[in-house]
Amino acid sequence: MPDLRKDPIVGRWVIVAKSRAKRPHDFQTTPSLHTGKFCPFCEGQEAQTPGEIIAYRRAGSLPNREGWRVRVVPNKFPALEIEGDLNKRGDGIYDMMRGVGAHEVIIESPAHVLSTADLSEHQLGEVFWAYRDRLVDLKKDHRLVYGMIFKNVGAAAGASLEHTHSQLIVTPIVPITVREEMTGSLEFHRYRGRCVFCDMIQQELASEKRVVLDLPGLIAFCPFASRFPFETWILPKNHSSHYENIQKNGVEELARGMRQVIAKIEAALDRPAYNYIIHTGPFDSQELGHYHWHIEIIPRLTKTAGFEWGTGFYINPVPPEDAAAFLREVEVESPKPQVLPIK
């Protein structure tokens, strides 16, 4: 079972997972993407993954068989394990606990589709609804406090399979990045009585210079202090701290917005590797006035190097105003689904 260990200086938790341990020569310096003929995520290969947790499927079809549209399965190589108690303990000045949590894979299409932009709006809406369903369910487990949904696309972004999929890791602690956002937004709220994210949305809509996409209930923009070139955030315009409170119409609009933004990034940057992550409120809090869920999309165009590791400072070679203008102007035709046959 993996351990969770806390850095006693800054309070950052690390997952030390022995099950993933490799001998030193096993570490690859250049990541590779499995692109062979066989794909365990394609319809018909259900037996190649652990048994499904949920799936949206055709009426009358059987679990772990064909007939699904979105399928959620445990990760075959989980970073955390769902069984057992936390066994919080100290070792001298160090704090640790058992690596209890969940690590799931959301398979976004039964067909061998490679990009979010190649899914139909309806299909992508079901993917976003599956995120919500899993958070609602895992929230009931009182050992767990945070659900992080993320997507890795391309080897440089950490993906090992090309079939479009995302992941969910649920942890028994609130990750430090989220805690920093929550602390900062709480301070802003105490001082000004408003949500900093809502204020950002207002200002971005008024100035327009960093806006990538403006839909009735949703905005995408390149943040003022973007760390990375073409970093793009997507937020609901109405204040909401917890993603899992999203409604059906919110999911539909999110699918429309995400599909367009990803299509723009892929067209502008020639299908770069990228990550997206959903930042949402922790399980153990109700609706919060100071926090606002959002999606951060990070194209992997630069490498994090010594200065960034040493300082937390980023050097971004593309001003977000230029990135946003570029993305705004990129035309994306309503994309035809690109499905590759797998034999």
Residues assigned a catalytic role: 165
Check: CB of residue 148 under 8 Å from CB of residue 277.
yes
Nearer of residues 69 and 292 to Zn ion, judged by Cβ: 292
**Integer Cα distance of 245 and 243 in angstroms:** 5
- Using CB under 5 A, which of 151, 210, 292, 328 touches Zn ion? 292
Among residues 53, 135, 155, 195, which is the contact residue for Zn ion, using CB under 5 A? Answer: 195
Strands 3-6, 94-98: pairing is antiparallel
Q: Which of 98, 103, 134, 163 binds Zn ion (CB under 5 A)?
A: 163
Q: Which of the stretches 21-29, 157-165, 210-218, 320-328 binds Zn ion when contact is defined by CB under 5 A? A: 157-165
Please give the structure tokens belonging to residue 308. Answer: 């960034």
- Stretch binding Zn ion (CB under 5 A), from 60-68, 82-90, 193-201, 205-213: 193-201
Nearer to Zn ion, 41 or 274 (CB): 41
- Rule CB under 5 A: is residue 165 a binding residue for Zn ion? no
* Coil, strand or helix at 302: coil
* String of DSSP letters for 30-89: S---B-SS--TTSTT-GGGSSPPSEEEE-TTPPTTSS-EEEEEEE-SS-SSBSSS----E
- With vertex at residue 16, the alpha carbon angle to CA 15 and CA 19, rounded to the nearest 5 degrees, is 115
Residues in region 19-58 near Zn ion by CB under 5 A: 39, 41-42
Angstrom distance (rounded) from CA 274 to CA 268 = 13
Question: Read out DSSP for 108-156?
Answer: --SS-B--GGGS-HHHHHHHHHHHHHHHHHHTT-TT--EEEEEEEESGG
Q: By C-beta, is 19 or 48 nearer to Zn ion? A: 48
Taking alpha carbons only, the member of 56, 324, 65 closest to residue 213 is: 324
Q: How far is the CB of 195 from Zn ion (least distance, A)?
A: 3
Nearer to Zn ion, 223 or 335 (CB): 223
Among positions 57, 132, 259, 279, the unique one binding Zn ion when judged by CB under 5 A: 279
Size of the site for Zn ion (CB under 5 A): 11
Which residues, 197 to 226, sit near Zn ion by CB under 5 A? 197-198
Chain residues that interact with Zn ion, rule: CB under 5 A: 39, 41-42, 112, 163, 195, 197-198, 239, 279, 292
